[in-house]
Amino acid sequence: MAVTVRPATSDDVEPLLRVKAQAWREAYGGLLPAAHLDAVDAGVPEQVPGWAALVGSDRELWVADDGGRLLGMALAGPRRSQGGGLPDLELMALYVLAEAYGTGLGALLLDAVVGKRPAVLRVLAENPRAVAFYAKHGFAPEGGPEPMTGPWAGLHEQLMVRRG
C-alpha cells in the first residue's frame, strides 16, 4: 500500500463522500438503522456542492489516496461553536475504510489536518475504537457523553479536547 495523504481537490469530492458513507456503514452498521445508512449513500450527489465549496476554503480537507483509490478523508477548521474556553480548531470528520484500520492512515490524516495543535472533536461514545484512537493522540473527554437524536437516538456524542 503506497498511500499518499494530500489536500483534496474538487475531483475528490464525490469519491471522498463515498468513502465517508462506506466508513459510516463499516463503523456504525450495528448502531444505526440500515435505512439511514442507505439514505447517506443515496444523498452523496446532493452533498457534493457543499463539500466542493470546502476545497480551498479556510477548512483543511485531505484525503488518503492509494493510486487513485481513496481510503480515507479528514476535515478540520475553525470550531463551529465558539466560547467555553475551548481550542478554536475543530476536527470535524476523520474516516478511514475498515481495510485500512491499524495501518497508521488515520494518524497521518489527523496529523495533516490538525497536527499537534490544540483542538476539539466530537466522537460517538459507543465507538470505542475511535475514542481510543483519539485518546492515543492526546484528546481527553470533556464532560459526559450527550444523548443524540433522530436516527442517532439511543447513542451518545462525546466531546474530546486536546489542549496546548
- Please list the rounded mean pLDDT of every run of 10 residues in the chain (164 residues): 92 97 94 91 95 95 97 96 88 97 97 98 96 98 95 94 92
SS3 content of the chain, % helix, strand, coil (to 5): 35, 30, 35
Helices (H), the chain: 13-28, 34-42, 44-52, 105-113, 128-136
Distance of alpha carbon 27 from alpha carbon 111, whole angstroms: 21
For domain 4-115, the CATH class is alpha beta
- Contact at 8 Å (CB) between 9 and 73? no
Q: Which residues pair with 89 in a beta bridge?
A: 78
pLDDT of residue 122: 97
Q: What is the DSSP letter of 36?
A: H
Distance of alpha carbon 135 from alpha carbon 146, whole angstroms: 18
Name the residue among 62, 92, 59, 51 with its Cα closest to residue 77.
59
Q: What is the rounded radius of gyration, in angstroms, for the C-alpha atoms of the chain? A: 15
Distance of alpha carbon 61 from alpha carbon 94, whole angstroms: 10
Domain positions in the chain? 4-115
Rounded to 5 degrees, what are φ and ψ at 69?
-110, 120
pLDDT of residue 164: 78
pLDDT of residue 1: 62
pLDDT of residue 81: 84
Determine the 3-state secondary structure of 122 from DSSP: strand
- State the pTM of this model: 0.93
- Contact at 8 Å (CB) between 66 and 78? no
